[in-house]
Structure 1
C-alpha cells in the first residue's frame, strides 16, 4: 500500500507518521497564527479582497465572453 505521497515507509510504520505529525503541527501552528494576525490588518484584508474580486471578475468575463467568441 502506498500513501498519497507515494511513500511506503509511512504506511508500514505508523509510529513514523505519528512522529512526523508531532513535529509538523507544532511547527506550522505559529506560522498560521502569524498569518491570521496579518490577515486581520485592514490593509491586508483590502488587498486580499481586491485580488479575489479581480479574479472573480475576470472569471465572470471569461464565462460571459466565451460563448460569444466561440
Structure 2
C-alpha cells in the first residue's frame, strides 16, 4: 500500500521480496495450509510481476527522443 502511495518502485521491491519470502519460507518452515506447488507458483509469479513492473517503470522514465 505504501508503494502505491509513494513510489511504484517500492511496490516492485515488495513484490520481489514477497516472491523470495515464498521460496525461503517454504524451504525453512514447511507447514500445512497450502498445496505443495503453491509457494513455487506464487513466488515465481511475484518475481515475474516485479520484473515486469520494473521494466515498465524504466521504460516510462526514458526521454521520448532517446532512440
TM tier, smaller = 0.3 to 0.5
TM-score by length of 1: 0.40
Structure number with larger C-alpha Rg = 1
More helix by share: 1
Q: Higher relative contact order at CA 8 Å, sep ≥6: structure 1 or structure 2?
A: 2
